[in-house]
Amino acid sequence: MQILLLSRLLILCLAFASSSARPAPWVMRISCGARENVKTPPTNTLWFKDFAYTGGIFTNATRPSYISPPLKTLRYFPTSGGPENCYNIKRVPKGHYSVRVFFGLVGQPNFDNEPLFDVSVEGTQIYSLKSGWTSHDDQVFTEALVFLTDGTASICFHSTGHGDPAILSIEILQIDNNAYNFGPEWGRGTILRTAMRLTSGTGKPKFGVDYGGDPWGGDRFWNPITSFSQNFDHPRSTESSIKKASNAPNFYPQALYQTALVSTDSEPDLAYTMDVDPNRNYSIWLHFAEIDASVTDVGQRVFDVIINGDTAFKDVDIVKMSGDRYTALVLNTTVAVSGRTLTINLHPKVGSHAIVNAIEVFEIIIAEFKTLSEEVSALESLKTALGLPLRFGWNGDPCVPQQHPWSGVDCHLDSTKSKWFIDGL
Ligand SMILES: *[C@@H]1O[C@H](CO)[C@@H](O)[C@H](O)[C@H]1NC(C)=O
Ligand SMILES: *[C@@H]1O[C@H](CO)[C@@H](O)[C@H](O)[C@H]1NC(C)=O
Ligand SMILES: *[C@@H]1O[C@H](CO)[C@@H](O)[C@H](O)[C@H]1NC(C)=O
């Protein structure tokens, strides 16, 4: 008895030792426009007061959505300050990060209420806000997974002539160096923009912290979906614990696998369709756990995964591939999409119903090369020496994103050096 107790204690100690051996991820959260640090409920999250901005004006904010963090201020960038505006955050340890920006709405009457603008991270354009974004909860922020290797994080907002960019918050959350490794193209040269993250079979939106997820998971937002097809499918849930859930490098919360959608006889295929930007590559991550009491063994539920008509995975048998029931299985694949929709179809082969717990879709973006740093410093000095008016902007990288070079600057790419040079002014 005592030996048993002792050995249990020992195991407990070891478990603590190994978990405390892993340092906490580096985290920076900024409450834009705030003059004091802010802590927000329900998780008492710390947001630093506003800093590291190149310009703009602080004011009171209206939250566009109930999923936006409960912050009261924002920073907006009127056109008088130029078209390129940034946050340049320094002393960021070299690593892999989830960078998330929540957009805001200026909390004053008579303000153009839905600004449209472009967002770049480290010189690569990751997102263009879409008309109507204020009425879609999943469009009130943008998020990208990016390697930050030069000690800084440069996040810029580019005006497109549709209102003043307005930013509620910025988060820079370290994630595992190997997170979301989708294959040979993955790495420093690519950025993954989160296009969609779904948790199926539940109506509750959840962030990683709400799930009590590992902080190395990057506090992901999971958008709930209760049906893919007007209730021809059915939600399933379990309280049983799920094996192999919170593993490195992606640390998915166990609760993600405790709900699912299952198809029915009236519509055996389980199909999810979303709008995408055409002519892009997408990285798709599918999450499964056999949590349906009616499936008890290998070979009882087998289905194909068909993406835009092409078979991505043949004969998926969750129990067989994960090793057991109530065990997480993650599959990822990369697809080139030429049209404007992405359809993921789970087609039953054995047993007449398919199941899915969660889906993640990322746009794969090729990272831009940067402008030679000496040239940037030269231009910065010029800007100060000439006392260039604010409306020039001239923030961020002079040549990239290619969609938004500094006005009056001619750039060319030296492909042998993988750097941009300035040809003339
Ligand atoms: C913001 O709101 C506070 C209190 O609600 C108010 O006192 C303050 O004047 C407002 N600031 C601006 C810039 O509108
Ligand atoms: C994702 O898929 C690629 C290509 O099939 C594979 O090499 C890689 O190991 C997968 N990543 C994970 C984390 O499963
Ligand atoms: C998509 O991936 C293919 C193969 O890696 C590549 O040749 C192509 O340039 C990529 N397309 C885009 C838009 O990134």
Distance, CA 351 to ligand 2 centroid (Å)?
A: 27
Residues 334, 394 within the same domain: no
Q: How far apart are CA 84 and CA 394, in angstroms?
A: 6
Residues 142, 288 within the same domain: no
Residue 112 belongs to some domain of the structure:
yes
Sheet holding 341-350, edge to edge: 270-275, 341-350, 302-307, 310-316
Cα→Cα distances 169→47, 70, 112, 236, Å: 9, 10, 20, 35
**Element at 402 (helix H, strand E):** none
What is the pLDDT, as a whole number, of residue 1?
A: 41
Spell out which residues line ligand 3, taking CB within 6 angstroms: 185, 279-281, 336, 366
Residue 11 belongs to some domain of the structure:
no
Residues 205, 339 within the same domain: yes
What is the pLDDT, as a whole number, of residue 365?
A: 98
Q: How far apart are CA 153 and CA 42, in angstroms?
A: 28
Residues 50, 169 within the same domain: yes
Residues 34, 130 within the same domain: yes
Ligand 1 contacts CB of residue 60 (under 6 A): yes
Specify the residue for token string 């296009």: 195
Q: How far apart are CA 328 and CA 251, in angstroms?
A: 11
Residue range of the domain that includes 308: 192-366
Task: Give the ligand with the smallest distance to the CA of 283.
Answer: 2
Specify the residue with its C-alpha closest to ligand 1, atom 2. Answer: 60
Cβ partners under 8 Å of residue 151, min gap 6? 90, 91, 92, 93, 94
Number of the ligand 2 atom closest to the C-alpha atom of 178: 13
Residue at which a domain ends, from 320, 341, 366: 366
pLDDT in tens, the chain (425 residues): 444 444 444 444 444 444 556 899 999 999 999 999 999 988 899 999 999 999 999 999 999 999 999 999 999 999 888 999 999 999 999 999 999 999 999 988 777 679 999 999 999 999 999 999 999 999 999 999 999 999 999 999 999 999 999 999 999 999 999 999 999 999 989 999 999 999 999 999 999 998 989 999 999 999 999 999 887 899 999 999 999 999 999 999 999 999 999 999 999 999 999 999 999 999 999 999 999 999 999 999 999 999 999 999 999 999 999 999 999 999 999 999 999 999 999 999 999 899 999 999 999 999 999 999 888 888 888 888 887 777 777 889 999 999 999 888 889 999 898 999 888 77
Q: How far apart are CA 311 and CA 412, in angstroms?
A: 42
Contact 49, 31 (CB under 8 A): yes
SS3 annotation, 63-84: CCCCCCCCCCEEEECCHHHCCE
Residues 170, 284 within the same domain: no
Helix (H, G, I), strand (E, B) or coil at 9: helix
Residue type, 312: A
Structural domain count, the chain = 3
Residue 21 belongs to some domain of the structure:
no
Specify the residue for token string 């008509």: 309
Parallel/antiparallel/unpaired status of strands 27-31 and 45-49: parallel
Q: How far apart are CA 303 and CA 294, in angstroms?
A: 16
Residues 418, 329 within the same domain: no
Residues 154, 274 within the same domain: no
Helix (H, G, I), strand (E, B) or coil at 380: helix
Q: How far apart are CA 321 and CA 419, in angstroms?
A: 45
Specify the residue for token string 């231009």: 379
Q: How far apart are CA 40 and CA 36, in angstroms?
A: 13
Contact 286, 303 (CB under 8 A): no
Distance, CA 333 to ligand 2 centroid (Å)?
A: 7
Q: How far apart are CA 409 and CA 83, in angstroms?
A: 14
Distance, CA 283 to ligand 2 centroid (Å)?
A: 10
Q: How far apart are CA 232 and CA 265, in angstroms?
A: 8
Specify the residue with its C-alpha closest to ligand 1, atom 7. Answer: 60
Residue type, 122: E
Structure tokens at 287: 């999450």
Q: How far apart are CA 201 and CA 354, in angstroms?
A: 13
Instruction: Find the CATH number of the domain harbouring 356.
Output: 2.60.120
Specify the residue with its C-alpha closest to ligand 3, atom 1. Answer: 281
Residue 19 belongs to some domain of the structure:
no
Task: Give the ligand with the smallest distance to the CA of 360.
Answer: 2
Q: Hey, which of 281, 284, 333, 362 would you mutate to test ligand 3's pocket, going by the most ligand atoms within 8 Å of its Cβ?
A: 281
Helix (H, G, I), strand (E, B) or coil at 263: coil
Residues 300, 206 within the same domain: yes
Ligand 1 contacts CB of residue 35 (under 6 A): no
Q: What pTM was estimated for this model as a whole? A: 0.92
Residue 185 belongs to some domain of the structure:
no
Residues 205, 347 within the same domain: yes
What is the pLDDT, as a whole number, of residue 42?
A: 86
Number of the ligand 2 atom closest to the C-alpha atom of 333: 2
Residue 216 belongs to some domain of the structure:
yes
Residues 415, 360 within the same domain: no
Task: Give the ligand with the smallest distance to the CA of 108.
Answer: 1
Q: Hey, which of 35, 60, 75, 108 would you mutate to test ligand 1's pocket, going by the most ligand atoms within 8 Å of its Cβ?
A: 60
Strand partners, 273: 343
Q: Hey, which of 332, 334, 360, 364 would you mutate to test ligand 2's pocket, going by the most ligand atoms within 8 Å of its Cβ?
A: 332
**Element at 16 (helix H, strand E):** helix 2-21
Residue 9 belongs to some domain of the structure:
no
What is the pLDDT, as a whole number, of residue 17?
A: 43
Specify the residue with its C-alpha closest to ligand 2, atom 10. Answer: 182
What is the pLDDT, as a whole number, of residue 20?
A: 53
Residue 8 belongs to some domain of the structure:
no
Q: How far apart are CA 176 and CA 214, in angstroms?
A: 11
Ligand 1 contacts CB of residue 332 (under 6 A): no
Q: Hey, which of 175, 182, 244 would you mutate to test ligand 2's pocket, going by the most ligand atoms within 8 Å of its Cβ?
A: 182
Number of the ligand 3 atom closest to the C-alpha atom of 279: 13
Distance, CA 182 to ligand 2 centroid (Å)?
A: 5
Number of the ligand 2 atom closest to the C-alpha atom of 250: 13
Spell out which residues line ligand 2, taking CB within 6 angstroms: 181-183, 330, 332
Ligand 1 contacts CB of residue 59 (under 6 A): yes
Instruction: Find the CATH number of the domain harbouring 134.
Output: 2.60.120.430
Contact 271, 346 (CB under 8 A): yes
Contact 344, 307 (CB under 8 A): yes
Structure tokens at 288: 């499964």
What is the pLDDT, as a whole number, of residue 373?
A: 86
Residue at which a domain ends, from 366, 397, 412: 366
What is the pLDDT, as a whole number, of residue 112?
A: 67
Residues 295, 247 within the same domain: yes
Q: How far apart are CA 275 and CA 131, in angstroms?
A: 14
Number of the ligand 2 atom closest to the C-alpha atom of 180: 13
